[in-house]
Structure 1
Amino acid sequence: MSEQARADAAGGAFKVNSLTGLDTADPVAGHVVWDAPRSIWNTIMFVGAITLAPLFFSWSALAMFFILTGFTLCAGHSVGFHRRLIHRSFDCPTWVERVLVYLGTLVGMGGPIWTIRLHDFRDWAQRQPDCHPFLRHERGFLMDGLLYLHGKLVLDSPPGFDPGPGIGDSAFYRFLDRSWMLHQIPLAALLFGLGGWPWLVWGIFVRVAACTTMHWAISYFAHTRGSSDWALEGAVIQAYNVPALAIPTMGESWHANHHAFPSSARHGLYPGQIDLGWHFIQLLAWLGLARNICLPHDLPARPNIRPLTARATDIVSDAQKSVSGPAE
């Protein structure tokens, strides 16, 4: 990583980039309302998956499901949406970013601008001394899933939202955000042409339902239970690592590590912590398509982070030495 890129990354390493007016925003007072478009969308996908998948099962459709799900989640959601668009943890050509973001849209959970807003809103609120019960996952496993997949939180005093240049002013990203559901249609046509109804059912209904459920599950478990090398002092919600979900989430389940170093392109920081999203970024770098890749040693220790283990202390120490430079 270049010295200028290192300095830029360090300066914005822990900033919730898209939110404004945080001095007057209140993360507690608000109410949950029905999110009609997404509720109807999720219901169609779930009902379609449950009713049609057994009728149109084939081994080739199952293989296609795993390949397409893994590829769009890894390249699109984990790398394109999260590590590139939200946290800017690496640089890449504009065309590469747009391909990755389009793949993220094909996952079927929402468009890029909506995803940034949702992520940053939750991240900001959960860092505060208190936040709304919806964001604290207090209603239990099943009710939490019901609310997450069919409702949305409306705060009485919400923060403003500005995704910034290159995103909010991008006609392409605004188009994807308005039309994210419709992009399943050409994909469905392609799958039907390649494998008939089994490929369409497993490639659209089952895949979208599985990805949506997994996205909620990692949000629930990674903020309620698990192991962690870090504690964020002053935050009502702590983050945890969920090893069992490391492979299906492409490394996103190393959430305690991510909270410690949000701008790090690598989430699985220790041996044995599988992080397929990180390996995909390494592949992009090998192809000459990714540069200025941020890692913990490029970033300062996150303010208010308290290491809980010796290995966490070592990473914080190394990061501080790297950012500060050698002693005079």
Structure 2
Amino acid sequence: MRMRREAQLATRDRCEVNWIASDSGADAVKGKVRWDPAHSLWNGGMLVVAVAFGAQTFSWGAFAVFVLLSGAFILLGHSLGFHRLLIHQSFQTLRPLRYFLIWCGVMAGMSGPHWIIKTHDLRDWAQRQAKCHPYLSHRSAIWKDAWWQLHCRLQLKRPPQFDLGEVGKDRFLRFLEASWMLHQLPLALILFALGGWGWVVWGICARVASTVHGHWFVGYLAHRRGPQSNLVRDAGVQAHDVPWAAIPTMGEAWHNNHHAYPGSAKIGVYPGQSDWGYALIALLQKCGLVWDVCLPRDMPDRKRSLESVL
């Protein structure tokens, strides 16, 4: 089974939008932005609690919990589990470790695995078109874009068709999708037992609020301004790097590199570009825990689609 899977991965286009089955007749421009009550109340609620109670519950212990858990779940969950593994399949790993990394992605607090896939790939697909809705290109004013991305969803009149395949049928991932908010509760109980309400406020609410809002802010900047190494031919939206965010995003902020080589497990491609996500993948590969790690050199044909601006 593993050999057949590796053969399939070796022959597929590592830069494709993996989970869109068909975009025949799809339109990336026409659609309406609607309020998304579940994510709006979740994101807004976490921010309100963090702002209202953060100062009065602050302690250095609570702050240390905030930093350590934020770093762990962004690195293991958002960067490795959700983005590089689940969405782009830039490496493969053992099923228990795969599930653990994806669970860590849920613990980052943005949403469940299916929602993350569809949201990411819709934007990925749309930005490759000649034109797309400003919701998908981050082309609105900053406060409007913040409201849209954190509290709303886009309903295209003619969206592309998704096929999640085995990922959509996987019972564990379906469970995570249905219960993603609830997974903070066991951790909250542990934090309360160890450090009281301060650890809960900083370890849950402040952490989730900063992760969600930070993810939006870096994404906003990464599609508007900053250094560029390559342009993707025929793409209506180009990406920029956000160097100051390289460490807090575990390497995800080298977004121009990511647009250039979407399937690469290494996003900090050039010398001096910090990429803790890939550093961990490389370590796990040496330990025999991951394999089929895709790098830019594994996509030699991709250069035909790029224009260097260095």
TM-score range, shorter chain: over 0.9
The residue number in structure 2 matching 1:131 is 132
The residue number in structure 2 matching 1:186 is 186
| Mapped partners of 2:284, 2:301: distance in 1 | 27
The residue number in structure 2 matching 1:85 is 86
**Matched AA of 2:227:** S
| Mapped partners of 2:139, 2:308: distance in 1 | 26
User: Which SS does the other structure have where 1:63 is aligned?
Assistant: helix
**Matched AA of 2:115:** W
**Does residue 99 of the first structure (1) align with residue 100 of the second (2)?**
yes
Alpha-carbon distance, 1:300 to partner: 2.6
User: Which SS does the other structure have where 2:195 is aligned?
Assistant: helix
The range that moved more, 59-68 or 281-290, is 281-290
How many residues align? The count is 306
| Mapped partners of 1:7, 1:105: distance in 2 | 28
Q: Map of 1:265-304 to 2, 5 A cutoff?
A: 265-302=265-302, 303-304=304-305
| Mapped partners of 2:254, 2:11: distance in 1 | 21
The alignment's TM-score, normalised by the length of structure 2, stands at: 0.95
Measured on the aligned residues, the alpha-carbon RMSD in Å equals 1.5
Q: 1:80 touches 1:97 (CA, 8 Å); kept in 2?
A: yes
Unaligned runs of at least 5 residues, structure 2: none
The range that moved more, 283-292 or 20-29, is 283-292
**Matched AA of 2:254:** W
The residue number in structure 2 matching 1:322 is none
**Matched AA of 2:232:** L
**Matched AA of 2:124:** D
| Mapped partners of 1:178, 1:163: distance in 2 | 16
User: Which SS does the other structure have where 2:224 is aligned?
Assistant: coil
| Mapped partners of 1:16, 1:22: distance in 2 | 11
Q: Map of 1:1-328 to 2, 5 A cutoff?
A: 5=6, 8-9=9-10, 11-165=12-166, 167-302=167-302, 303-309=304-310
User: Which SS does the other structure have where 2:213 is aligned?
Assistant: helix
| Mapped partners of 2:277, 2:291: distance in 1 | 15
| Mapped partners of 2:59, 2:258: distance in 1 | 38
Alpha-carbon distance, 1:21 to partner: 2.4
| Mapped partners of 2:283, 2:206: distance in 1 | 28
**Matched AA of 2:194:** L
The alignment's TM-score, normalised by the length of structure 1, stands at: 0.90
Per-residue displacement from partner, 1:56-80 (whole Å, max 9, x unpaired)?
0000110111010000000111001
| Mapped partners of 1:7, 1:181: distance in 2 | 34
| Mapped partners of 2:10, 2:199: distance in 1 | 42
| Mapped partners of 1:60, 1:301: distance in 2 | 50
User: Which SS does the other structure have where 2:34 is aligned?
Assistant: strand
